[in-house]
Amino acid sequence: MTTVSTRAPAVRRPAVDEPRPWPLLRHALALAGRSITKTRRNPGVLLDALIMPVIFLLMFVYLFGGAVSGSSREYLQYVFPGVLVLTTILTGQLSTGLSLVLDMKKGVFDRFRSMPIARSAPLLGSVLGDAVRYPLAVAVLFGLAYLLGFRVETSPAAALGAVALAIGFGFALSWLTVLVAVLLRDENMVSTVAFLLPFPLVFGTSMAAPAETMPGWLQAWAEVNPVSHAIDASRGLLLGGPVAEPVLMTLLWGGGALVVLAPLAAWAYRRRM
């Protein structure tokens, strides 16, 4: 007498952490919609992204304008391109890392682990969802600057190029805070790092004053600082002047940061989750 097994053959499910770009992107975009919905239902999370640029622009123009340029109007023309780059960097550093840590502590990412999605999709989706803050912050900054008297001296296309370059550069640098958030997983430490990190990068440039007026050691740092190239590119695109070299260097630095930091943050996330 022969016994026939009635057990159904095992079905092998595809591993969710296999490197398949299109499913990863589809899952990440779906989770980015969740982040956007969360932001829409809690408008208070946008305050940092919207108020901080306004504070910096007003502070620089009315506190230092007379001393540096002799006129607040002239100094506004000089400082605005740098504040534009500062806005995109602060927007990514202050919000994205903290949002990730809070979701991890609340167990949201643990729930994602039980779903048949790519392992890195929650991380990428959260970052892409937070990216909606960049155009909002830039729009508020441009609106205020025009009310104060700033005018683009090139063309609308060049101005859009400056905005796109600044947003892309800020988004690339935001992955540094993402990496810190994944490694530390503490909102206090992440907030401290995200607040302090932009200062040596942004203020060691010609954003607030020409590099020639700085001490020699600070001039040396400004020359190798990647944010200096982003500010020079923004200033050239908005006010005129040479842009080929600073734009190219900004793209190289931003692309290099994205290629290195994003995979490193995803690897650290998969290891710790």
**Cβ contacts of 222 within 8 Å, gap of 6 or more:** 204, 205, 206, 211, 214, 228
* CA neighbor of 225 nearest in space, from 209, 246, 195, 243: 246
* CA neighbor of 268 nearest in space, from 192, 184, 170, 189: 184
Q: Which residues of 160-181 are buried (b: 16+ CB within 10 A; e: fewer)?
A: ebbbebbbbbbbbbbbbbbbbb
Query: Does residue 62 form part of some domain?
Result: yes
- What average pLDDT does this structure show over 154-169? 94
pLDDT tens readout for residues 233-250: 999 999 998 899 999 999
**Cα distance between residue 187 and residue 189, in whole Å:** 6
Query: Does residue 1 form part of some domain?
Result: no
Query: Does residue 37 form part of some domain?
Result: no
User: What is the reported pLDDT for 124?
Assistant: 84
Q: Which segment of 41-45, 107-111, 140-144, 245-249 scores lowest on mean pLDDT? A: 41-45
Q: CA 76 → CA 41, 59, 97, 160, 170, distances in Å?
A: 35, 11, 31, 19, 22
User: What is the reported pLDDT for 44?
Assistant: 66
Q: Give residue 18's pLDDT band: very low, low, confident or very high (50, 70, 90).
A: very low
* CA neighbor of 239 nearest in space, from 165, 171, 152: 152
Query: Does residue 23 form part of some domain?
Result: no
The answer to whether the CB of 84 falls within 8 A of the CB of 166 is yes
- What average pLDDT does this structure show over 103-128? 79
Higher pLDDT, 246 or 44: 246
User: What is the reported pLDDT for 98?
Assistant: 77
Query: Does residue 6 form part of some domain?
Result: no
Q: Look at residue 1 and tell me whether its pLDDT is greater than 50.
A: no
- State the pTM of this model: 0.84
Q: Look at residue 9 and tell me whether its pLDDT is greater than 50.
A: no
- What average pLDDT does this structure show over 247-265? 93
**Cα distance between residue 163 and residue 159, in whole Å:** 6
Query: Does residue 208 form part of some domain?
Result: yes
- What average pLDDT does this structure show over 109-126? 78
User: What is the reported pLDDT for 215?
Assistant: 86
User: What is the reported pLDDT for 272?
Assistant: 67
Query: Does residue 133 form part of some domain?
Result: yes
Range of the domain at 58: 43-272
Split into its structural domains, the chain has a count of 1
Query: Does residue 234 form part of some domain?
Result: yes
